[in-house]
Chains A and B, each alone.
Chain A
């Protein structure tokens, strides 16, 4: 799922500084699951903003509303009434939802309350890890089901590089983070599967056109003609 983290409240307050009435829009999709933008977090942020502005002698009215998703126009329509009452929207959905909600209400300024981080798996409560780069050309069949683009710091297709040691990627040292070497993981998995010979094959240079957009995906067989 899409994983996002809340922006620092100083930045959020900066964004809504000129306004007297704002709507915080939450989403019941990915941002609820990653504990960042659901109804609960909307409530917490709203309370924090109210108190901050009250303290500064510049009170603000904060409305709260959470709907299923912000990446579908029908759900975004449900915000209509509240949007009509406010000067600006602070959305806690992922970058997709923030923009799409903004497209629905182009005359109301919309602001991001979160940083969208990655496509990741929920390892345990409060812990998520990136797994996919959305590169548009999946090679998981060649690498034992582990992605070299997302999980190798250099996105090498024929790794590992010389900086892999004890299963750790060389970036662990300068970033002081614990980063596994994606290619060590691939190697170990292929050994376990008895498929390590797959690594003899040289994977050719990638077509990066698929990995960077703006991208569109159309299924001609499913598009609806409403005329």
Chain B
């Protein structure tokens, strides 16, 4: 575990593997695990093993869609204990600035180095819709707080923090929300506030993402922040259609839906599509990595990454000895009918 007082080497701000991989100019690959709705690390261990050595770091969502889940900081610490690197997601919905700074002090002391600052889905979406949405600060203000802690060594109120946490600061961007032309302006605001890396909402409409990247390059933002688009293997054509119509902030292209609908095996097609997207985005100027968010399908991440040819990872721990594919994981592959996708992993 890295001591709080240690200085990151060279020009690195946090010294994390994620930062190091970005800084080296190599294509970054991150994964994501949604913590469970129970007091158990079983899933974190199972999926974590699958991603060990195969990704640079792993996101943990923070009460995603306002549903109570095992906290992202606890899951992140568990991952550190497993020898891997977490990306701690923090939303503004559930905690005020006092509690957030407090949690982050603890997280850093326990080895967490990457943090994403997000607004958070409205509490009305979740399982406690009547709870009070806090929103004491917004995501941009939160980025500022982390930057202040890291670079000025003081809290939001200005008071000194002796052993100050030095995070690699991340944020989100959604090229599929409105107003479209303002999205790059908002990204720039986040960069100004101190964001180091950005992960976008998952791409289900490549054309719109490419237009977004045009605007990003126009403003020169790609030179000021590391950008990784989110990529999601969509389990079924029905799910794709649902997201097309039923989820705000998400745009799914007709092409995407039809690819899945016309394929003989929908699940394999979903994996193929993700692999193709990984290869495609590597060609887009300004894209520095990709973020695989296999929501409710975390088990397929090792399959996708092996097929996509992005292994081994340069600086991730265990990159030369990737994690074990447990029997449980293999059983899950069999359930989805994808166990033949990368035969050597079976």
Contacts and interface: CB of A to CB of B under 8 A. Distances in A.
Contacts of A188: 179
A8 interface: no
B119 A161 contact: yes
Given A158-B141, A173-B248, A205-B137, A164 B185 contact: no
Contacts of B178: 160, 164-167, 181, 184
Interface stretch (B128-136, B161-169, B259-267, B269-277): B128-136
B248 A156 contact: no
B49 to A, nearest CB: 31
B45 interface: no
A163 B138 contact: no
A189 to B, nearest CB: 12
Contact of B182 (A154, A199, A206): A199
Nearest to B248: A170
A166 B177 CA distance: 8
Given A168-B248, A173-B246, A208 B121 contact: no
Nearest to A168: B248
Interface string B82-99: 000000000011000100
B19 to A, nearest CB: 24
B122 interface: yes
Contact of B248 (A155, A163, A206): A163
B192 A202 contact: yes
Contacts of B177: 160-165
A99 interface: no
Interface residues of B, number: 40
Nearest to B185: A199
A174 B127 CA distance: 11
A168 B120 CA distance: 17
B221 interface: no
A171 B129 CA distance: 11
Given A162-B177, A162-B201, A165-B177, A154 B124 contact: no
Nearest to A161: B119
Contacts of A82: none
B204 to A, nearest CB: 14
B337 interface: no
Contact of A161 (B125, B139, B188, B246): B139
Contact of B136 (A160, A174, A205): A205
B197 to A, nearest CB: 16
B102 to A, nearest CB: 16
B138 A200 contact: no
Contacts of A202: 140-141, 144, 189, 192-193
Contacts of B201: 162
B331 to A, nearest CB: 34
A159 interface: yes
Nearest to B247: A173
A169 B156 CA distance: 29
B97 A174 contact: no
A153 interface: yes
A100 B8 CA distance: 62
Interface of A: 153-175, 181, 184, 187-188, 199-200, 202, 204-206, 208
24 contacts: A153-B124, A154-B122, A154-B133, A154-B138, A157-B138, A159-B138, A160-B178, A162-B172, A162-B173, A163-B249, A164-B177, A165-B177, A167-B178, A173-B246, A173-B247, A174-B124, A174-B125, A199-B182, A199-B185, A199-B189, A200-B185, A202-B141, A202-B144, A205-B141
